[in-house]
Amino acid sequence: MVTVNLHAFGEFVRKHRPALEVRAAKLCAGSAVDSTELVGETLERALSVFERLQDQDTASVTQWLDGAMSRCFARMGGQLPDSRAAAPDLQQTFDLLRARFREVYGQPAFGKSAGATGWRM
């Protein structure tokens, strides 16, 4: 059985809880998930691995806590925002580059008509 130093965990909570509350408020805005419950769930997860967390640097702990909070939020029924920006279609990007090349140089981009050999966009 693993015993946890509750005094050390209390210090851990005092140090990290304010940032967790801010993150939880942002995640839970417009959601049915309660931010206070989310912070509690996240800290409960942290308690279960506290022996490993207390030996980590602050950046690693913050990263772990953010990941744990995101997983707890999803488990509690929250929807995480899509963190990937909507990337333009690759063909659209090539078309824009081709058009810009023609605009600047007055000739087709990367093709036989441009006097180049090889691949064509």
Domain edges within the chain: 1-105
pLDDT digits (tens, 9 = 90+) for 43-97: 999 999 998 988 889 999 999 999 999 999 988 887 765 544 445 567 777 777 7
Which residue did the predictor score with more confidence, 71 or 105? Answer: 71
Tell me the pTM: 0.61
**pLDDT at position 119 over 50:** no
Distance CA 8, CA 16 (A): 12
Cα angle 101-104-109, degrees, rounded to a multiple of 5: 25
Gap between the Cα atoms of 54 and 5, Å rounded: 10
- How many whole angstroms separate alpha carbon 13 and alpha carbon 104? 58
